[in-house]
Structures are given as C-alpha cells and as structure tokens.
Amino acid sequence: MSHIHIPDGIIPSIWWVTGYILTAVMLFVLIRKIKDKDMGRKIPLAGMSAAIMLLGMSIPLGFLPLHFSLAVLIGILVGPSIGVLVIFTVNVILALFGHGGITIVGINTLVIGTEVIIGYYIFKNLARSFTATKAAAVATVIALLVSLTMMVGIVGATVGLPEVIPHDDHAHEDDHHDDEDDHYHDEDDHYHDEDDHYHDEVDEHHDEDDEHHDEDDDHHDEDDDHHDEHDDHHDEVDEHHDEDDDHHDEEDDHHDEDDHYHDHDESFIEALQDLDFLVLTGWSALIGILVIGIALEATITALIVRFLYKVRPDLLED
C-alpha cells in the first residue's frame, strides 16, 4: 500500500540519491546478520515470498485503488534481514516493468523495508501473549500506518501532496503529463510577461531620460553653475530607484513562495474533491479507502499466518 509509483525525473536528485545510500547501508548491516543456518531454509521461502509480493503489487484490486504488498507477512516468514533483501529485489523488478521509476527504488525499499522490520518485531512480541492470528493482524495495521506516514511525508515534501491521493495509475500518468505541459506553458507565459514588463520599464526610463536631457539642453547655458547639483540629484534618484527595485524583488520572491504553496494546496484540494469511492467523496473517500485497504491486508496476513501455524508452524519459527 505504501509503494511509491512516481516515475523517473520527478523526485529531486538529493532525495533519491540519499535513498539509495541509506538503502545500501541498511542492506549491508542486515545481510551481515543473516545466519548460515538460515540460508538453506529461508532462501527458497524468500523466493516464494518475492513471487507473492510481485503478484500482490502488480494486480489491481478493481474497486479499491490500492495494491497489497504483504510486507509484514514476508517479514514474519523470512525475518527482517532477508525480508528487506526481498523488498529491494521486488522493487527493482517492478521498476523495470514501469511500476515506479528506477530512481525511486531506494526510497521504496526504505519505506516498505521499515514496514517489514516493524511488523516482524511487533509480531514476535505480541505472539508471546496473543494468538499468532491476532499478533499478525495488529502488527500489520501498525506497520502499515508507519510506512504510509513515511510515504506521505516523502512524497509531500518532494512533489506535493496531490501525488499521495489514490488514483488509477494510467489515468494519473496522462493527467501528470498534461499538468507538466500546463506547467511549462505557464512558465513560458510568466517569462514572457517578465520580459514585456522589463522592456516597458526600460522604455519608460529611456523616455524619462530623454525628457531630462531635453530639459538640461534647454537650460544648459543658464544653469551651468547648477549642473553639478542636478547630477547629484540624479544620482540620488537612481539610488532610490535601485532601493525600490531591490525592495520590489524581495516582495516578488515572497509572492512567488506564497504562490507556490498556494498552488500545492489548491492542487491537493482539487485532487481530493475529484476522489470518489463507492458512495463517498473527498476526505471520507480517502479515509474509507485507507481503512478498507489496511483492514483487508491485515485480514489476509492474519489468515495466511493462521493457516501456516496449523500446517507448518516451523515456518513461523526463527
């Protein structure tokens, strides 16, 4: 559910490079913790888990605009170390098939890997006091809430909250390209307006200079003694103009920042208003989608754990 589907070229370089660096560090630390005795028993299970995750994250749910990752289930089955390695492998495969960009693999691994680690440790602690079924359900809910919060924070900080709203992938890609075209057109119009405004100002200054020159020529003979005073006055006027220009530039910068945040807020509100789910719209639709999605994934994870606990309890042991 917390998988980020943003294509390449959207996330700023500093974010995805940092994501890859942190992922490399996390994989290095976790792989060193894998015990030799686990390799023969859990590696085949890891392959099966990767296949299940690929299936769950590739098939749309129809009425629900989400995908199940079953990351907590993978953590329970193979442990956090091998589980994060599975997450990284699956994200690479999904990116190669266009399910998100290559540049987003590191961030996706961090987000969903956190879900694996948190889910595993919560399950192990709760399983001491509750049944495996209840422990798996609670662990899945908590881990999903944490990973979804991370996903919203990262996407909101990099490309804006509208990208967080659940949507149909293909329709969203078309909308995204349209938005990019509109954005570039708006930028072109903005630069053209700035050029026109600058040219108008230059013309006005030229006209003013011409007027001053004419006046100076008319009174040149009479005002030779005051010529220096006029020059000083012009210098003072120019200084005031420069100060006004600097002040105007600062105000424009503040206005641009305000417009930027205002545009993001408006885009989020528009995306939220366009969201509908069953008979719900807006915030109620968003909350309904998340609640149903988390409940379904927690239920599926709990049922699979319950089945395995009955037929192969050794798979749930470290």
Of the pLDDT bands very low, low, confident and very high (cuts 50, 70, 90), residue 296 is: very high
Place of tokens 């120019």: 238
Q: Tell whether the model's pLDDT for residue 137 goes beyond 90.
A: yes
Tell me the percentage of the chain whose pLDDT exceeds 90.
32
Whether the pLDDT of residue 224 is over 60: the answer is: no
Q: pLDDT at residue 200 above 70?
A: no
Residue 294 above 80 pLDDT? Answer: yes
Rounded to whole angstroms, the Cα distance separating 23 from 232 reads 64
Average pLDDT estimate for 281-299: 87
Sign for the pseudo-dihedral over CA of 49, 51, 54, 59: negative
Average pLDDT over residues 255-262: 50
CB neighbour list of residue 264: distance below 8 Å, 6 or more residues apart:
160, 161, 162
Report residue 170's pLDDT band, with 50, 70 and 90 as the boundaries: very low
pLDDT at 123: 95
Identify whether the C-beta of residue 29 lies closer than 8 Å to the C-beta of residue 299: no
Confidence of residue 251 (pLDDT cuts 50, 70, 90): low
The single residue listed with the structure tokens 């005795």 is: 37
Q: Residue 56: which pLDDT band, with cuts at 50, 70 and 90?
A: confident
Confidence band, pLDDT 50/70/90 cuts, at residue 264: low
**CA neighbor of 61 nearest in space, from 269, 300, 304:** 300
Model pLDDT, residue 205: 59
Task: Tell me the average pLDDT of the chain.
Answer: 77
**Degrees to nearest 5, angle at CA 158 with 157 and 162:** 80
Helices 71-96, 36-58: axis angle to 10 degrees equals: 70
How many angstroms separate the CA atoms of 37 and 108, rounded?
29
What's the pLDDT at 59? 77
Domains and CATH numbers, the chain: 13-175+272-316 (1.10.1760.20)
Please name the helix (run of DSSP H) or strand (run of DSSP E) that holds residue 281, with its range, or none.
Answer: strand 280-281
Q: Please report the beta strands in 129-279, taking only residues with DSSP state E, as ranges in sequence order.
A: 276-277
Q: What is the mean pLDDT of residues 298-306?
A: 94
**pLDDT value for 316:** 76
Highest mean pLDDT among 35-49, 146-160, 257-271: 146-160
Residue 18 vs residue 212, higher pLDDT: 18
Contact in structure between 71 and 115 (CB atoms under 8 Å): yes
**pTM of the model as a whole:** 0.69
The mean pLDDT value for 154-167 works out to: 77
Own/partner contacts of 119-125, CB < 8 Å, gap of 24 or more, are 119/71, 119/72, 119/75, 119/76, 119/143, 120/72, 120/75, 120/76, 120/79, 120/80, 120/83, 121/80, 123/72, 123/75, 123/76
- The answer to whether 55 and 70 are in contact (CB under 8 A) is no
**What is the reported pLDDT for 178?**
47
Q: Is the per-residue pLDDT at 113 higher than 90?
A: yes
DSSP structural state of residue 27: H
The secondary element (H helix, E strand) that includes residue 213 is helix 169-218
User: Is the pLDDT reported for residue 173 higher than 50?
Assistant: no
Q: How confident is the model over 85-107, as pLDDT tens digits?
A: 999 999 999 999 888 899 999 99
pLDDT in tens, 27-42: 999 888 877 666 777 7
Residue 78 has pLDDT above 80, yes or no: yes
The pLDDT of 240-244, averaged and rounded, is 60
Instruction: Note whether 36 and 44 are within 8 A (CB).
Output: no
